[in-house]
Amino acid sequence: MRSQWELRLPAADPQRSLVETQLRYILRVRSIRPTDTLTHTLEIGEFRVVRDTASVAVRVSDAALSRSTGSTWMETVQVERHEQGWWGRAFSRVVEIGDRLGC
């Protein structure tokens, strides 16, 4: 079954087309239709490298029916570069989870 996803990637990223193609395949993406009762959004921010740390912000949102209800999960993923020149494990630095409307 195909899922209703909206993908948002940095427009200036040279790998945008490749990443979008891979995500569409992995997530089995189809375009959102006006009749969909549940939609998902995956937003990937700009990839940044500052000194010895690479980071990217990732946001996943779910919206139901009128798009006024749903939830959002946002995470900043970082990877540190070691003195030997190789990259370490990815880890979350900031995580935010919440509902669209206050409870």
Q: For each of the chain's 103 residues, which pLDDT tens digit applies?
A: 567 888 999 988 888 899 889 988 988 888 888 888 888 888 998 888 888 888 888 888 888 766 567 778 888 888 888 877 788 888 887 777 777 555 4
Measured CA to CA, the distance from residue 32 to residue 24 in angstroms comes to: 13
Domain of residue 40, residue span: 3-99
Query: What predicted TM-score, i.e. pTM, was given to this entire model?
Result: 0.72
Measured CA to CA, the distance from residue 63 to residue 37 in angstroms comes to: 8
Provide the number of structural domains found in the chain: 1
Write down the pLDDT at residue 5: 85
